[in-house]
Amino acid sequence: MPKAADNAHRVAIVIAAHPDDIEFMMAGTPLLLREAGWETHYLNISSGHCGSVSLSAEETEAKRLAEEREAAAILGATFHPPFSRDLEIFYDASHLRRLASIIRDVNPSIVLTHSPQDYMEDHTNTSRLAVTAAFSRGMPNFDVEPPRPPVDSEVTVYHAMPHGLMDELRRPVQPDLLIDTTAVFETKRQALAAHRSQKEWLDVSQGMNSYLKSMEEMSRTLGQAAGKEHAEGWRRHSHLGFSAREMDPLGQALGQGPD
C-alpha cells in the first residue's frame, strides 16, 4: 500500500504537450504552489518543431527550447527537456517509458496535466500518458527509460481546462475546482510572452497580441465563474490506483478545500 503523502512531500509537476501550453492554461497554479512552499517541475513533451511557417524544424526547436527554458525560469520551476515532437506524441510504450522515468525521478504528490478531452490529439495523448506514468510509479516490473527504481508514494492527478473551455465536439467543460490566480496573473502573462516565436507568428496571422488576449479571455471567464478577476480550472482524476483514499492536496494547499 502506498504511503500517505505528508506536508513535507510538497512536490508538483506540470506535464503538457507543447511549449506554451503550460502558460496558456496552467501556469498560475504552480506559481501559487511555489509561493506556498512547494517544489515545482515543468515539462513539455514535444519540442514544438512545427510552430513556425518561416523557420526550419531545427531552427524552430532551438528557438522554442530557449523560450520554454526562459518561461520555466520565470515560473521558478525545475525544467525538464522535451523528448518528442509535434504531432508525434502517441500513447505508446516508448513515450510512456520516458515519462514514467521522469515521474519516478521527481516523485510528485501532485501531477497537473491536460484535459482528457481537448481539441487536438497531442493534448489528449499527453493527458493519457501522464495518468499512466503516474499509475505505474510503483510497479517494479514496468521498465522505464532511463531506468529508475519505483517509488512508494501517493499522487493526485489534476486535469486542466481544455483550450477554448470546450471538448473536441464543442461541448462546454466545467471544472470541479477553481483556483484564484489573480495575484499571479501578470507573472503568468510574462511567462507566456516569453514564447515570442508564437506571439510573433500569431500577431501576423490574427492581430496584435492575440495570443496573450486569448489566454486572458479564458482566464477572466474562469475568474468570473469563481467570483474573482482571474482563475484556472481543474478536474481531479479518480484516486483509484493513485492513493488509498480520495485526496485533494491542490485544494488544500491553496485554501480551496475539497469539492
CATH number for the domain including 41? 3.40.50.10320
Write down the pLDDT at residue 176: 95
Structural domain tally of the chain? 1
The whole-number pLDDT of residue 210 equals 80
Beta strands across the sheet bearing 231-236: 78-80, 39-44, 11-16, 110-113, 156-160, 231-236, 177-180
Could you tell me the pTM of the whole model? 0.94
State the residue range of the domain holding 113.
11-239
Q: Residue 78 falls within a domain, yes or no? A: yes
Is residue 186 in some structural domain? yes
Residue 145 domain-assigned (yes or no) = yes
At 94 the pLDDT is 98
Instruction: Look at residue 175 in the predicted model and tell me its pLDDT.
Output: 97
Low-confidence ranges of the chain (pLDDT < 70): 1-8, 201-209, 256-259
Domain annotation covers residue 51: yes
Q: Name the amino acid, one letter, at 232.
A: E
In a domain, 75, yes or no: yes
Residue 190 neighbours by CB under 8 Å, 6+ apart = 74
11: which 3 cell numbers? Answer: 512536490
Is residue 83 one of the residues assigned to a domain?
yes
> What pLDDT shows up at residue 54?
87
At residue 258, the pLDDT reads: 44
| 68 inside domain | yes
Instruction: Name the nearest CA neighbour of 50 among 15, 13, 19, 10.
Output: 19
In a domain, 133, yes or no: yes
Compute φ and ψ for 66, nearest 5 degrees: -65, -40
